Structures are given as structure tokens and as C-alpha cells.
Amino acid sequence: QVQLVESGGGLVQPGGSLRLSCAASTSKRIFSITSMGWYRQAPGNQRELVATITSDGDTTVADSVKGRFTISRDNDKDTVFLQMNSLKPEDTAVYYCNAERIFYGSSLMSPEVGSDYWGQGTQVTVSS
């Protein structure tokens, strides 16, 4: 099995910055991960896309965070990051990491494949 382990949430004042990290973890080898991304869910709201990034580095960023948030990834470490600058109170939410498809296992010749992995969520609170 593969798990996504998130870190980096917390309390920050408006205008401040936070950096979220999400690493894929398994006792086996990870050969590749397709798209990875960040979603968020505020109380009473549906989960919404924040940003995604493919293995080639192509990104999609929600209009609400464009110019303030940057998504990146380290393929060698199976990790995706979200740099959040100029944070606003409306950015307050639980942030979830997602991996679209993960190829892993003991042998590259016969990999296991799993889809739609989610992290446990990390709270981001923007408040003075």
C-alpha cells in the first residue's frame, strides 16, 4: 500500500506564508507518479482544487490562488509542495494532497498500480 503523508500546515497571520509538503510512502519502490495536487475544504464548503502538477511539471492553478500559490514537485523524492504566499483569511481550510496514479512494487517489470490516493489533510488557518 502507498500512503501520502502531509506536513507544513498551521496558523499564520494574513499576508504571511506557509509551505506544505506531501510525500508518498511505501515499503516497496515507487516507480512513478502521474499527476499530484492539492485540494482544500473549508467548513460548510465542498472540496475544491487548488493546484495540480504532472510528472513533466505542467501545472494547473485555481484562479483564487493564482499569483500567490506555487506548486512544485521532486520526482526523485516522490514529494509535492505547495508554497503559499500572501495568505488571506479565505484560504483557511483543510488542505489535502492527492496523487492520481502511482506505479510501485518490487519489480518494474510487473508494477502494482493504485489510483486516487489522498493524504490525511493538514489544517491551514489564516487569522490575526
All three cell numbers of 110, joined, read: 510487473
- The residues, ordered by sequence, that sit 6+ positions from 107 with a Cβ below 8 Å of its Cβ are none
What does the pLDDT look like over 4-58, one tens digit per residue? 999 999 999 999 999 999 999 999 999 999 999 999 999 999 999 999 999 999 9
CA atoms within 13 A on the CB side of 108: 2
Cβ atoms of 60 and 52 closer than 8 Å: yes
Tell me the C-alpha distance between 83 and 61, whole Å. Answer: 12
Give the model confidence (pLDDT) of 69-116 as tens digits: 999 999 999 999 999 999 999 999 999 999 999 999 988 888 899 999
Residue keyed to cell 508494477 = 111
